Amino acid sequence: MSNLIAIAFQNETDAFEMRAALAKLQSQYLIEMEDAVVVTRDEQGKVKLHQAVNLAAAGAVRGTLWGSLIGLLFLNPLLGAAIGASSGAVAGALTDIGINDQFMKDLGATLTPGTSALFVLVRKSTPDKVLDGLKPFIGKAKVLETSLTKDKEEELRRALEGASSTTPSSETKNE
């Protein structure tokens, strides 16, 4: 089962930097992400989704390939490629994988203008090593929402928000 994590930032660049750091961790096989989307809210209050993968472009490439192959059968590969590219682009644009776009837009509308959020759908991870890799973001991020267990969510909050892990009841006085 995958877990959704939404993290807010005080500017627009930190979310992109964290997504890049997570992509690097994914290349090291420390995390497996299904989706990672940066949501920004500009100074005019407009919410924009920055998908990691352009589905329309990927669909166009796939459509061009298949259209060319089918076009070869009918001795007109250029026409087949053109039709395949356009239909593939439309199909890709209409495809929504991963995190629900409307959910991200709704949560993005609650952001302060000029800020951003990173939505990550994590299939599996090695949490201690991933948190080590995200140390540059300590104090820059605030956890908005997760589907993690309460213990794991609290651990993530402490790690990213820079909160102290000691509680008043665990401190002892030496008198």
Position 27 scores a pLDDT of 93
Position 69 scores a pLDDT of 63
Position 22 scores a pLDDT of 94
Q: 47-51 and 115-125 as β-strands: parallel, antiparallel, unpaired?
A: unpaired
Structural domains in the chain, CATH included, are 3-53+99-162 (3.30.1340), 55-94 (no CATH)
Position 55 scores a pLDDT of 47
Classified as helix, coil or strand, 119 is: strand
Position 63 scores a pLDDT of 62
Position 172 scores a pLDDT of 40
On whether the CB atoms of residues 114 and 135 are closer than 8 A, the answer is no
Spans of the chain below 50 pLDDT: 54-56, 164-175
Position 75 scores a pLDDT of 67
Position 56 scores a pLDDT of 47
Give pLDDT tens digits for 130-168.
Answer: 999 999 999 999 999 899 999 999 999 998 887 544 434
